Amino acid sequence: MGAVALIDFRSFVKDVPDFPKAGIIFKDITPLLADHKAFQAAISAMAAPFKGRGIELVAGIESRGFLFAASIAGRLSAGVIPIRKKGKLPRKTLCAAYGLEYGIDTLEIHEDAAAKSAVVLVVDDVLATGGTAKASCELIEKVGAKVAGVSFLIELGFLKGREKLAGRDVRAVLSY
């Protein structure tokens, strides 16, 4: 708790206007990733609400979600599941289409990625419009597993992504 409270996470997130297209303010988290103390404190803060919740698997959303999912899984003594863009997973998949803040895409999961009724935490770096996280939760449920919650580093509150995740336990370390 102490280490988390002492870190000013906002100072490690850089706003990049008009990336990847005009009108988007991209939250660049690479300074946070590059700072050992800040990154570890962020991982702890993202994992903390889900400690003792019986999380068996942490699902990371391609690609920045992967950077957080593996470390959070370590904190929660859980395994990791990749949720990937279309065409990347080698075996039979289930898929879900979704709308991004800047585009449309398809996400996939291995159809046998989790045991039926496994308890899964979904992880990504940024909650924007919520389409990506919503599709990811739906994939976990299509596999037959349970979504215990969704953990983000950053929530862009003005985009109301939480509304797409209504009824789910949604946590974010930073809110803008």
Spell out the residues 6+ positions from residue 148 whose beta carbon is closer than 8 angstroms to its own: 50, 53, 54, 55, 119, 120, 121, 169
Which positions from 126 through 155 interact with ligand AMP, judged by CB under 6 A? 126-133
CA 75 remoteness from chain centre: 15
Stretch of 68-76, 78-86, 113-121, 122-130 lying at the interface with ligand AMP (CB under 6 A): 122-130
CB of 94 to ligand AMP, least distance (A): 18
Q: Which of 7, 12, 13, 27 binds ligand AMP (CB under 6 A)?
A: 27
DSSP state of 90: S
CB of 123 to ligand AMP, least distance (A): 10
Establish if 42 lies at the interface with ligand AMP (CB under 6 A): no
3-state helix, strand, coil split of the chain in percent (to 5) is 35, 35, 30
Q: Map 69-81 to HEC letters.
A: HHHHHHHCCCEEE
Question: CA 13, CA 86: separation in Å to the nearest integer?
Answer: 29
Stretch of 6-14, 109-117, 120-128, 139-147 lying at the interface with ligand AMP (CB under 6 A): 120-128
Q: Which amino acid is at 77?
A: S
The count of residues interacting with ligand AMP (CB under 6 A) is 19
User: What string marks each residue from 69 to 98 as x (binds ligand AMP by CB under 6 A) or -?
Assistant: ------------------------------
Contact of 109 with 81, CB cutoff 8 Å = yes
Q: Which helix (H) or strand (E) holds 47?
A: helix 36-47
CB of 114 to ligand AMP, least distance (A): 20
User: Is residue 101 annotated as a catalytic residue, yes or no?
Assistant: yes
User: Is residue 171 annotated as a catalytic residue, yes or no?
Assistant: no
* Interface ranges with ligand AMP (CB under 6 A): 24-27, 61, 64, 100-101, 124-133, 161
